[in-house]
Chains A and B, each alone.
Chain A
Amino acid sequence: MPVSLRNSKLIYEALKECDIRLLSALPETWLVHLIRSAEDDPEMVLVRLAKEEEGVGISAGAHLAGVKSAMLMQNHGFLASINGIVSFAHLYKIPLLMLISYRGSFGERDPWQTQGGNVTEPLLRALGIPYSFLDAVETVKKRIRQAQTLAESSLQPVALLLTRDLMWEE
């Protein structure tokens, strides 16, 4: 599978270095190695969801319990989570670290991913969610650290878009 194992491990290590102890996830191709890393890690609570919006509630519960968490999802899962983001995370000032695979962008071959790719960034902007990209090996650790720092200090959702350049090896 051309999903980058090495770069997935790099992302996972960065999450661990940020003291992330709970990950909620709904599998998609680009996330398989990340989810397997969480599965194999006895220090990580992995919550497999039926739908991504549940992850907003679970991360909010974790935050209220004093535990740092992150959400792993595809951009379509972000679309499916928007009410939870607005009427829980924004309304109650809950930090969310969202790692979102950016499907449907440049290089996408699956036609069904393309519409979601078009609207991902406009929606993040419309919702006022600060976001950046994980697109190069050298900056992965720093970006994840910075995103988590901002989420915790501002008590709001922050997104990192996982790009094809980092996640896919062709």
Chain B
Amino acid sequence: MLRLDCLRTIYADLENCLVVTIMGAVAAELQSLGHRPNFFYLQHAMGLASSTGLGLALCLPEQRVIVFDGDGSLLMNLGSLSTMARYRPRKLVHVVFDNESLLSVGGFPTATSTGTDLEGIARAAGIPRVSTVKSVEDFKAAVTDAMRGTELTTIIAKVEAKGPAAFVTDLSLLENRFQFRRHIQSLQNS
């Protein structure tokens, strides 16, 4: 399963969500499908995408928030699972693309390649709904289901360690950040 195919299959459903991604391949691939003002790419600060999604979800409980995390990033901030589980915002969906690798920095294997089980960790942390998916069809079904649901959900998506040739896009970090905030303001004013 390729991450890009996963993103493509749910791209249309992201229109009315607030989307937060981690750095590197995930950000570049989502942008390659077409940037939207409701997408925020956290291009550094590894581990904090899930915390950012939690902050958004706690402050905007009526908004659907979806985080695209990665195994390397989540392993840097496993405590975030316990904090998310503690407050369990009902409309937060946490997707973890697990390619068992730190792809953006040369493909070094992470601990999920030697048996660390992120689904098990998420479940034991208290995330109410957790699943692992290995096909694009199952990915689409799991995300669609989570986005219709009313419980904090973590989906581990096992993907190949393949990504785009380049990670830098022509969207500046600050342009993205200010555009994203303006987008949220426009939702509040409408």
Contacts and interface: CB of A to CB of B under 8 A. Distances in A.
A116 interface: no
Interface stretch (B103-111, B155-163, B177-185): B177-185
Given A66-B188, A87-B45, A92 B173 contact: yes
B164 interface: no
B48 A66 contact: no
| Interface of B: prevailing SS | helix
Interface in B82-106: 82-83, 86-87
Nearest to A24: B55
A117 interface: no
Contacts of B173: 91-92
A61 B79 contact: no
Contact of B177 (A65, A66, A92): A92
Contacts of B20: 61
Interface stretch (A50-58, A102-110, A158-166): A50-58
Nearest to B80: A54
Contact-size category for B: 35 or more
A88 B48 CA distance: 9
B59 A92 contact: no
A98 interface: no
B184 A66 contact: yes
B59 A45 contact: yes
A21 B184 CA distance: 17
A27 interface: no
A57 B184 contact: no
A65 B79 contact: no
Given A64-B180, A66-B185, A88 B45 contact: yes
A57 B87 CA distance: 15
A151 to B, nearest CB: 15
B79 A54 contact: yes
Interface string A92-106: 111000000000000
Interface in A60-114: 60-67, 69, 83-84, 87-88, 91-94
A28 to B, nearest CB: 17
A55 B48 CA distance: 9
28 contacts: A49-B79, A49-B83, A50-B80, A51-B79, A53-B47, A54-B51, A56-B48, A57-B47, A57-B48, A57-B52, A58-B54, A58-B58, A61-B55, A61-B56, A64-B184, A65-B60, A66-B184, A66-B185, A66-B188, A83-B45, A84-B45, A84-B48, A91-B173, A92-B173, A92-B174, A93-B174, A93-B177, A94-B177
Given A45-B58, A55-B51, A64-B40, 17 more contacts: A45-B59, A47-B58, A47-B83, A48-B83, A56-B45, A57-B47, A57-B50, A61-B59, A62-B56, A64-B56, A83-B45, A84-B45, A88-B45, A88-B48, A91-B45, A92-B177, A93-B174
